[in-house]
């Protein structure tokens, strides 16, 4: 008698939220799993009956699965009407492990740092980074710190922990005290289509859409403190002061902070203080499909971040043929 296939349940809380890092990770992972020829069967468990915020979270409109022969199926599970953070906690700690036991799954996979405390079956969790544990400014208030303490404890109970870099694996073994024999670095691939253009110039349409200068250094990413945009501005000021070509502008792409705070310092204030207003172009939010062209047209991509679990944008820039200037 043939062995029954392995059954893996995937926590799909971030399904439909492809503007978040965890959402992109889940979507890309599901896309590739769906293309595999395997006897393993995957069930993506997604929340039902609430506004997910970014994206609809609806399987019919969001699914990348190409055919009924896919090894992945979707199951929706209701959650109570609660404030978002409480709903998320209920989902992670009660709904997901209960579904794993009810469905008779062999393995539970949680693709972000939120393994349940109750683990009725072997559980694998991906810890992308330990930012809220390691960087004081990201620790938040009492509730955030309690949550970080909870998921730190639940990760220690997991059968295996996936990290996305060797540095992440070292952090997990050092700061969560999880034996290295249970920690497995699995690197990302570039978060762009394999057919993405690697030409050194952007198309006219993309250049017009974002009003790009003819030549530019590029920063594309968030504006929270660890991204070190202040360092980018200071370096660009120094570049100009030492005789750098002022025709090479600085493009800052991404959604700007709504207000200027220590956590989200507004680059416009810092640029004004450095007398850089005329040299900087704020491109705003960039659609995923347009990113390769922005990278390809840049003189260099600047990314002096102070901490990253992986740093996906570095891979995206290099995949587009763009030189990268980054931190260690």
Q: Are 276 and 234 in contact (CB under 8 A)?
A: no
Strand partners, 301: 218, 324
User: Is residue 327 classed as helix, strand or coil in its secondary structure?
Assistant: coil
Q: Please give the pLDDT value at position 109.
A: 98
pLDDT at 55: 37
Q: What are the residue boundaries of the structural domains of the chain, listed by start?
A: 7-185, 204-326
CATH code at 204-326: 3.40.50.2000
Dihedral sign from CA coordinates of 270, 274, 275, 280:
negative
Query: Based on the number of CB atoms within 10 Å of its own CB, is 116 exposed (0-12), middle (13-18) or buried (19 or more)?
Result: buried
Report whether CATH 3.40.50.2000 matches the domain 7-185.
Answer: yes
pLDDT at residue 48, rounded to an integer: 86
The tokens describing 239, both together, are: 């570049």
Judge whether 7-185 and 204-326 match in fold. Answer: yes
Each residue's pLDDT expressed in tens, for the chain with a length of 328 residues: 457 899 999 999 999 887 788 998 999 899 888 888 889 999 999 998 655 443 333 333 344 444 556 788 899 999 888 898 999 999 999 999 999 999 999 999 999 999 999 999 999 999 999 999 999 888 889 999 999 999 999 999 999 999 999 999 999 999 999 999 999 999 987 766 554 444 445 678 899 999 999 999 999 999 999 999 999 999 999 999 999 999 999 999 999 999 999 899 999 999 999 999 999 999 999 998 899 999 999 999 999 999 998 888 999 999 999 999 999 8
The helix or strand, by DSSP H or E, that contains position 284, with its residue range, turns out to be strand 280-284
Phi, psi angles (nearest 5°) of residue 125: -125, 140
CA–centroid distance for 175 within its chain? 21
Cross-strand bridge partners of residue 240: none
d(CA 27, CA 63): 9
Single out the residue of 194, 196, 205, 204 nearest to residue 291, CA to CA. 196
Q: Counting Cβ atoms within 10 Å, is residue 149 exposed (0-12), middle (13-18) or buried (19+)?
A: exposed
Contacts for 51 with CB less than 8 Å, ≥ 6 apart: none
If we measure between CA atoms, which residue out of 119, 90, 91 comes closest to residue 106? 119
């Amino acid at each position: 008698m043939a062995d029954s296939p392995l059954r893996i349940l995937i926590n799909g809380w971030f399904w439909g939220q492809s503007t978040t890092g965890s959402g992109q990770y889940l979507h890309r992972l599901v896309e590739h799993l769906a293309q595999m020829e395997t006897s393993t069967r995957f069930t993506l468990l997604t929340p039902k009956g609430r506004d997910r915020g970014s994206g609809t979270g609806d399987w019919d409109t969001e699914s990348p699965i190409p055919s009924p022969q896919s090894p992945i199926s979707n199951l929706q599970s209701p959650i109570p009407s609660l404030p978002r953070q409480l709903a998320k906690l209920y989902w992670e700690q009660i709904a997901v492990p209960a579904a794993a036991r009810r469905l008779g799954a062999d393995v539970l996979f949680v693709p972000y740092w939120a393994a349940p405390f109750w683990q009725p079956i072997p559980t694998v969790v991906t810890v992308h980074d330990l930012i809220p544990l390691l960087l004081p400014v990201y620790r938040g208030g009492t509730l955030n710190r309690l949550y970080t303490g909870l998921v730190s404890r639940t990760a220690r109970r997991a059968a295996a922990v996936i990290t996305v870099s060797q540095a992440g694996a070292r952090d997990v073994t050092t700061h969560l005290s999880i034996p290295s024999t249970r920690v497995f670095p699995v690197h990302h691939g570039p978060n762009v289509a394999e057919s993405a253009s690697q030409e050194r110039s952007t198309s006219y349409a993309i250049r017009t859409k974002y009003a790009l200068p003819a030549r530019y250094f590029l920063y594309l990413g968030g504006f929270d403190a660890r991204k070190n945009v202040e360092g980018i501005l200071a370096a660009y000021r120094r570049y100009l002061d030492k005789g750098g070509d002022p025709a090479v502008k600085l493009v800052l792409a991404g959604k700007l902070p709504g207000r200027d705070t220590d956590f989200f310092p507004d680059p416009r204030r810092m640029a004004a203080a450095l007398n850089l207003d005329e040299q900087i172009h704020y491109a705003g939010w960039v659609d995923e499909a347009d990113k390769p062209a922005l990278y390809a047209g840049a003189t260099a991509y600047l990314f002096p971040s102070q901490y990253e679990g992986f740093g996906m944008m570095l891979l995206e820039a290099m995949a587009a043929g763009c030189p990268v200037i980054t931190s260690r």
